[in-house]
Structure 1
Amino acid sequence: MYGSAVVLCGIIAAFVVHEVFRWLQKRADLTESKLDDIVLYSLDKPLTIAIIVCSVWISIALFVDPATLLGEYAWLFSGQYFAAAATLIAAWVVSSFVYNFINLYGRWMASQTETDLDDRIIRVLEVSARYVIWFVAILMVLRMLDVDITPLIAGAGIAGLAVALAAQDIVSNFFGGAVILADKPFAVDDRVKIDGYLGDVIGIGPRSTRIKTLDHQMVTIPNSKVSSSVIVNYAMPDVRLKIKIPVSAAYGSDIKRIKEILIEIGHEAAARSEYVLSDPAPSVYFLEFGASSLNFMLVLWAKAFNLTWDVQDYVNTRVYERFAEEGIEIPFPQMDVHMRE
């Protein structure tokens, strides 16, 4: 009689708690933070089940003689089994919270990037977190029930070691991809130079990064190698690119006039071509006395990193034309040999 009343009260209390949680969840939907939604969702069902289980256990423990009612099954209602049930419910709560936290905030962070690698990482973390939490909970329950878990731990360690050795490259590449996503040294469509390969990034996968070279060839580089390499990104901090064009003139040429011509060509390129910027302004430097030439450097800024050859083609053509008009000789390597009698 009293036991049934306790169970009935437990069911009513569970129903009330469930309805309260539903009301709180509606209120939580109105807030900006999603953490309260995750907490309420994680506690709702486990707490409802826990109240019913507690009411049944209390009714049997206080008002029923388990030996008379259940005979050989009375041991099921001992304290250690109640603790085991509480541990499983707690694992349910923690697992649900971790899964929903990763699912919500992890996918939100992944949506801020262009690549799908972080989406895959989030899916793996969701599943892995649940497996780890339930594995630990089951080991704790077995330990509470006086079951020897040493073989299970040893077996899990050996299996984990075998998997780790077999998947060493896969794991290193996987975490290399995670490092790339976290550090963001480049993004898709950036022009980069990695391990001597120059090209445009066309994909960042869970195992490798793909680059299309300027020769229209596909290069696949393992993420572990990318994460440990020196990376030159021509698209950062912006897509502009400084281009240095060497120009040589013969000894005896008018240095002042050569610099004037090169500056004129630089401003002309900025005004007439679609490749060169006027700001920063072009500049010219007389660098050295070469073995057979006076060496200058014309510095221009291209509008984008993929216009290098266009700029060089335009400028070299104009340099050749202007030097020819001005009568300035463009030297070629030569050696003067003097013979003494």
Structure 2
Amino acid sequence: DNMIMSLSEEDALWLNTNRNALASNYKARIAKSIAGYREATSLKTLAKEVGMAVLVLGVLILIITMLSRLFRRFGTRVDSWEGTRLKGIHIRNYELFNSRREVAFIQSVLTVVKWLLIMLSVYLALPVLFGIFPWTRDFSETLISYVTSPVKRILRAIWDYLPNFVTILVLVVVFRYIIRFFHFLKTEIERGALRLPGFYADWANPTFQIIRVLILAFMLIVIFPYMPGSDSPIFKGVSVFVGVLFTFGSAGALGNVVAGLVLTYMRAFHIGDRVKIGEVSGDIIERSLLVTRIRTIKNEIISVPNSTVMSSHTVNYSSDAGTNGLIIHTTVTIGYDIDWRRVYELLQKAAAKTKLLETAPPPFILQVSLDDYYVSYQLNAYTKHPNKQAVIYSNLFEEIQDTFHEAGIEIMSPHFYALRDGHKMNIPESKFQARSGDEGIRVRVDRKDI
């Protein structure tokens, strides 16, 4: 016989018994363990366990086969739906997926789901298979703990985070209704139902957008401490890094945004106005926070950064044209021999025949300079169509030419070199009576000089 263990009186004393009773207890327990081990390692038990393992493997293979067949049928059914039930995915007029792409996408999803189910079945079968044999039961518990431990930690973290999550939901709802209140005010101002002294209706939307951004930023500041991981150094480091990138990477863009906001409140122009910004002339077709887009009379689209608009002077031809009218003006030079009253009459007649020019207020003429050889007459006429200046100028030039040609007057800038010894003066006859002897310059020629 082999001695397995020995007991002393002190061992029995610690367990509040005597040595014989303690030895009998240990002997019974050891005998029971040996009997259990012999039964677990017997051929009969091993045969049962192998049979159970084979059964588990058979069930697993059956499940995998059934899943493969089931998903194969699903795939065949999906292929038959192409062009019938599956006609593609459309978002308004945009085709996100045609029928073939939609079928291919569904087939890919079915394949992924099939393999996930197969992997889940294998993973669940392995603990059962390892739990059959006594010497592999530890592997079974380990495999199960790989799933149960993370799930327990996740569920515990979710449960602990629920108060913060409810707080975030309450804050989001409160700030949402605050934004809706300002949106209501914006809508009322745009409709004209609410009027604020000194506040224009076209300021409502940009002001609302600014207030909305500020409210959302404040909401993020309030919510930030309740977000998971907000106290971790990694989260703080990433936040600082993103802020630095945004600061240095968007310096120019932020300048354009600020300029766009300033332009909005300056009300320098509106959509559709005919303007001249620097050297660019045309109609405003878009005004955003970053750029202002202008369509020229040649149908060219020019994008001007808002910072450039702010640093340039802007001429708006349309802002006052609807009420007081825009003054179209051109200069004509006529010699001193034509009476200025006659020139006024012809220029006003040409303006009256020009389309898109207003008759009230009437056109007016200014003498802008008295040059050495001619007078410069400036014709000024009102129009309420600033976006058609090119056409108006062209028609006006045509009418001026026709009117002066019909009157027998040349539109030119004559240059005279006059010898005043008896030469006729370049003054209208109605203002100057020719004296006797004003026949011109006499030249005496002797025959011997010929």
- Do the structures match in fold with TM over 0.5? yes
From the superposition, tell whether residues 92 and 213 of structure 1 become closer, same or farther in structure 2 (CA, over 3 Å).
closer
**Structure 2 equivalent of residue 307 of structure 1:** 388
**Structure 1 equivalent of residue 362 of structure 2:** 281
Q: Which amino acid is the alignment partner of residue 180 of structure 2?
A: N
Q: Which one has the largest radius of gyration?
A: 2
1:100 and 2:166 matched: no
Rounded to whole Å, the distance in 2 between the matches of 1:192 and 1:158 is 43
Rounded to whole Å, the distance in 2 between the matches of 1:263 and 1:198 is 28
From the superposition, tell whether residues 164 and 231 of structure 1 become closer, same or farther in structure 2 (CA, over 3 Å).
same
* 3-state SS in 2 of match to 1:316: helix
From the superposition, tell whether residues 243 and 223 of structure 1 become closer, same or farther in structure 2 (CA, over 3 Å).
same
**Structure 2 equivalent of residue 129 of structure 1:** 215
Deviation, 1:200, is 0.8
Q: What RMSD, in angstroms, separates the aligned Cα atoms of the two structures? A: 4.2
Deviation, 1:160, is 1.7
* 3-state SS in 2 of match to 1:188: coil
From the superposition, tell whether residues 315 and 286 of structure 1 become closer, same or farther in structure 2 (CA, over 3 Å).
same
Deviation, 1:312, is 2.9
Rounded to whole Å, the distance in 2 between the matches of 1:104 and 1:160 is 33
Query: Is the contact made by 2:349 and 2:403 (CA closer than 8 Å) also made in structure 1?
Result: no
Q: Which amino acid is the alignment partner of residue 312 of structure 1?
A: Y
Which one of 309, 328, 333 corresponds to residue 409 of structure 2?
A: 328
* 3-state SS in 2 of match to 1:280: coil
**Structure 2 equivalent of residue 256 of structure 1:** 341
**Structure 1 equivalent of residue 27 of structure 2:** none
* 3-state SS in 2 of match to 1:312: helix
**Structure 2 equivalent of residue 18 of structure 1:** none
Q: Which runs of 5+ in 2 are unaligned?
A: 1-162, 193-199, 420-450
Rounded to whole Å, the distance in 2 between the matches of 1:114 and 1:220 is 26
Q: Percent identity?
A: 22
Greater displacement, 235-244 / 316-325: 316-325
* 3-state SS in 2 of match to 1:182: helix
Q: Which amino acid is the alignment partner of residue 373 of structure 2?
A: S
Give per-residue Cα distances to partners, 1:115-166, cap 9 Å, x unaligned. 9x958983x8647633542434544x79xxxx97899767644532321111
Which one of 289, 307, 314 corresponds to residue 224 of structure 1?
A: 307
* 3-state SS in 2 of match to 1:198: strand
Query: Is the contact made by 1:207 and 1:223 (CA closer than 8 Å) also made in structure 2?
Result: yes
Give per-residue Cα distances to partners, 1:196-230, cap 9 Å, x unaligned. 10001111234212111112111011123223432
From the superposition, tell whether residues 180 and 100 of structure 1 become closer, same or farther in structure 2 (CA, over 3 Å).
same
1:297 and 2:391 matched: no
Rounded to whole Å, the distance in 2 between the matches of 1:284 and 1:163 is 58
**Structure 1 equivalent of residue 248 of structure 2:** 165
**Structure 2 equivalent of residue 179 of structure 1:** 262
Deviation, 1:316, is 2.7
Give per-residue Cα distances to partners, 1:17-44, cap 9 Å, x unaligned. xxxxxxxxxxxxxxxxxxxxxxxxxxxx
**Structure 1 equivalent of residue 440 of structure 2:** none
Query: Is the contact made by 1:110 and 1:119 (CA closer than 8 Å) also made in structure 2?
Result: no
Query: Is the contact made by 2:183 and 2:208 (CA closer than 8 Å) also made in structure 1?
Result: no
Query: Is the contact made by 1:91 and 1:134 (CA closer than 8 Å) also made in structure 2?
Result: no
From the superposition, tell whether residues 289 and 98 of structure 1 become closer, same or farther in structure 2 (CA, over 3 Å).
same
**Structure 1 equivalent of residue 327 of structure 2:** 242
Q: Which amino acid is the alignment partner of residue 411 of structure 2?
A: I
Rounded to whole Å, the distance in 1 between the matches of 2:292 and 2:280 is 12
Query: Is the contact made by 2:355 and 2:392 (CA closer than 8 Å) also made in structure 1?
Result: no
Query: Is the contact made by 1:248 and 1:331 (CA closer than 8 Å) also made in structure 2?
Result: yes
Rounded to whole Å, the distance in 1 between the matches of 2:300 and 2:414 is 35
Query: Is the contact made by 1:95 and 1:134 (CA closer than 8 Å) also made in structure 2?
Result: no
Deviation, 1:297, is 0.9
**Structure 1 equivalent of residue 284 of structure 2:** 201
Rounded to whole Å, the distance in 1 between the matches of 2:399 and 2:240 is 71
Q: Which amino acid is the alignment partner of residue 181 of structure 1?
A: T
Query: Is the contact made by 1:286 and 1:296 (CA closer than 8 Å) also made in structure 2?
Result: yes
Q: Which amino acid is the alignment partner of residue 266 of structure 2?
A: D
Rounded to whole Å, the distance in 2 between the matches of 1:274 and 1:91 is 63
Q: Which has the higher contact order (CA 8 A, sep 6+)?
A: 1
Rounded to whole Å, the distance in 1 between the matches of 2:239 and 2:414 is 71
* 3-state SS in 2 of match to 1:287: strand
Rounded to whole Å, the distance in 1 between the matches of 2:387 and 2:223 is 56
Rounded to whole Å, the distance in 2 between the matches of 1:287 and 1:214 is 29
Rounded to whole Å, the distance in 2 between the matches of 1:337 and 1:154 is 89
From the superposition, tell whether residues 333 and 161 of structure 1 become closer, same or farther in structure 2 (CA, over 3 Å).
farther
* 3-state SS in 1 of match to 2:373: coil
From the superposition, tell whether residues 335 and 155 of structure 1 become closer, same or farther in structure 2 (CA, over 3 Å).
farther
Give per-residue Cα distances to partners, 1:294-320, cap 9 Å, x unaligned. 111111112311333333333333333
Query: Is the contact made by 1:118 and 1:181 (CA closer than 8 Å) also made in structure 2?
Result: no
* 3-state SS in 2 of match to 1:186: coil
Which one of 378, 400, 421 corresponds to residue 319 of structure 1?
A: 400
Deviation, 1:247, is 1.2
